[in-house]
Amino acid sequence: MNTTLNRDTLAQVSPKLAELSQQVLFGDIWQRPQLAPRDRSLITLAALVALGRTAQLPWHIDFARQNGVTDDEIAEAFTHLAFYAGWPAAVSALTCLAEEKK
């Protein structure tokens, strides 16, 4: 079974990790004024692609859209990453983007 946890389902499996994610990651780190949420989304997408964390990409692609990143910009970031994170990583990320467009 290949279940991907999100903000809601994470709390069912690990309440403490969900609490830390909400309070520290999204309640503090994502709120710091030194970077805009849009920039944080692009950084997060790049890190997930580079580390091959494709299970996390669909949620963060949607979150990036909410933060003002367009699908064209996401596709361009993933294309750019092909030369730094590797071709397979970029293609896998673009596959996630294509699935999210459906």
Amino acid residing at 42: L
What is the helix (H) or strand (E) element at residue 4, kind and residue range?
Answer: none
Where does the pLDDT of residue 1 fall: very low under 50, low under 70, confident under 90, or very high at 90 and above? very low
pLDDT number for residue 22:
93
pLDDT number for residue 2:
56
In order, the DSSP letters of 33-76 are TTS-HHHHHHHHHHHHHHHT-GGGHHHHHHHHHHTT--HHHHHH
pTM of the model: 0.90
Kindly report, residue by residue over 28-69, the tens digit of the pLDDT: 999 999 999 999 999 999 999 999 999 999 999 999 999 999
Which of 77, 75, 69 lies closest to 95 in space, CA to CA?
Answer: 75
